[in-house]
Amino acid sequence: MKILQLTSDWKWTGPAAPMLELATAQRAAGHDVVIACAPAPPESEPSLIARAREAGFAPVLELERARGVHPLRDRADAARLRALLARQAFDVVHTWHTRDHVLALRARARLPRAARARVVRSYKLAEPIPRWPWNRWLFGPGTDALACVSEASATANRRLRGGRPVAAIYGAVDLARFAPAPADKAVRESLGLAPEHRVIGIAARAQRHRRFDLLLAALAALARRDPNARLVVIGRGTHIEETAVRPAARLGIADRVIFAGYRTGDYADVLRCCDVFTFLVPGSDGSCRALLEAAACAIPAVTSRRGALPELVVDGETGILAEEEPDRLAASWQALLGDPQRRAAMGRAARARAEREWSRERLAQRVDGLYASTTIAPDWSSTSSR
């Protein structure tokens, strides 16, 4: 199968990593896969285009670096994409944002019907797609198949689809890179962790909506009972000072919180320093990639019940689904930090589930099934099901 993975973004964030993970999985499965994306601004790292090249994908087309849908501005991109589709005769164009989705529809509209690729859309959020008139068309007749990050999301969006194909497509993880291993002593020491410290880890941008207030309040509650508990925050954020650093100081737990910053080459090593992984609010990548990576490292999770999390964590088996209250969250952390045997058993179960459900091979199989469920692309002007 000939596949174009198309995104109008350039940042290494949100759905960028899942897109590249899927492209890698599809290539390994024997498909002919290429990507198109926007170039990064000068000296912008990390970027999608840099990571794509590292993975062996040289973009076949670079779109204008722009956001939103603007018909006049986007004419040149639509024309260049149309020429690419005409030359290479793709079976599927897989899109990830509204801008590239619309560009794909515009590009194929003026091609002969027999030469039109199917347009598939991955929707990156677990929440239902807002049922605005534009969305009812774009995600209905304007999408040949829709990939959602969870079964709950797929179920919520089936009515919008009007009987057209929709499926839950969970994320994938590099099981070789993210594998169980003892924590590296030097990495722990570089983080200021002593041998007696028991570590809760979170990988998330420090944003207001990610519930850092709850995270820190729960740590304050735990600190009163467990002086050796530590929180490692992996990530950065424009508002990290007001969202996390200053609140930790006000709560008197600044010495219990380690801000590890954004990590690249040693990210997996930092992750393996954690005894328990926690996740409260999914970010722009609703597949919760960091949680999958922690599970692959055999780290049990304590999470909320938001988004895809209840489908990714088997409560009582691979982790704990906790209520969003400081004392309840702290008690869930303590239940695992204070019981090494239970923690290890949950970690083994999490790794086994990652191997079974979140491998690249499994991802390619799921997406192949979604692609196979649709065969005829609708016209751009269509407003009804085919």
**Ordered domains of the chain (ranges, CATH):** 2-172+361-372 (3.40.50.2000), 185-358 (3.40.50.2000)
pLDDT at 380: 44
Tell me which DSSP letter residue 280 carries: -
pLDDT at 114: 85
Residue 17 to residue 120: CA distance in whole angstroms: 17
Q: State how far Cα 359 lies from the chain centre.
A: 14
Question: Structure pTM?
Answer: 0.92
* pLDDT tens track, the chain, 386 positions: 999 999 999 988 778 999 999 999 999 999 999 999 999 998 777 899 999 999 999 999 999 999 999 999 999 999 999 999 999 999 999 999 999 999 999 999 999 988 899 999 999 999 999 999 999 999 999 999 999 999 999 999 999 999 999 999 999 999 999 999 999 999 999 999 999 999 999 999 888 788 999 999 999 999 999 999 999 999 988 889 999 999 999 999 999 999 999 998 899 999 999 999 999 999 888 999 999 999 999 999 999 999 999 999 999 999 999 999 999 999 999 999 999 999 999 999 999 999 999 999 999 999 999 999 986 544 544 433 33
Q: State how far Cα 96 lies from the chain centre.
A: 12
pLDDT at 371: 97
Terminal Cα distance for the chain, rounded: 23
Residue with tokens 């807002």: 130
pLDDT at 72: 96
Contact status, residue 263 vs residue 234, Cβ threshold 8 Å: yes
The answer, yes or no, to whether the previous bond of 300 is cis (omega within 30 of 0) is no
SS3 304: coil
Residue 363 to residue 225: CA distance in whole angstroms: 42
pLDDT at 146: 98
Contact status, residue 93 vs residue 119, Cβ threshold 8 Å: yes
Contact status, residue 161 vs residue 374, Cβ threshold 8 Å: no
Give the neighbor-by-neighbor strand order of the sheet with 301-303: 257-261, 229-234, 198-203, 276-279, 301-303, 319-321
Contact status, residue 203 vs residue 234, Cβ threshold 8 Å: yes
Q: Quote the strand ranges of the chain, DSSP E.
A: 2-6, 32-37, 61-62, 92-95, 118-122, 145-148, 166-168, 198-203, 229-234, 257-261, 276-279, 301-303, 319-321
pLDDT at 12: 87
